[in-house]
Amino acid sequence: MDNRMTTLETRFETILPTLVTKEDLTNLDLKLTNTIHLEITSIRKEINSNNWRMIIWMTTVIGMAFTGVFYVARYLPA
């Protein structure tokens, strides 16, 4: 019986320090929350900058198309 108790105590002494506590889980939750918020913020910035690039590109293409149509209508004989 004494041998079995010693074996169990040894097992618990080696296993218990490796288990997670509530404080560890709270810290992990805070770190993950902060990381997720930072990633979401960076993705929003990238999407917003790409939106402006797309708006500028489309405005340029439409302007060039109108210029081409104006040139054809004005200077080329029918």
Domain segments of the chain as ranges? 21-75
pLDDT for res 49:
87
CA distances from 74 to 22, 59, 63, 64, 67 (A): 77, 22, 16, 15, 10
pLDDT digit string (tens) for 2-60? 788 888 888 888 888 888 899 999 999 999 999 999 999 999 999 988 998 999 999 99
Whole-model pTM over 0.75? no
pLDDT for res 6:
87
pLDDT for res 64:
98
pLDDT for res 8:
83
How many degrees, rounded to 5, is the angle at CA 54 between CA 48 and CA 58?
A: 150
pLDDT for res 68:
96
* First-to-last C-alpha distance (Å) of the chain: 110
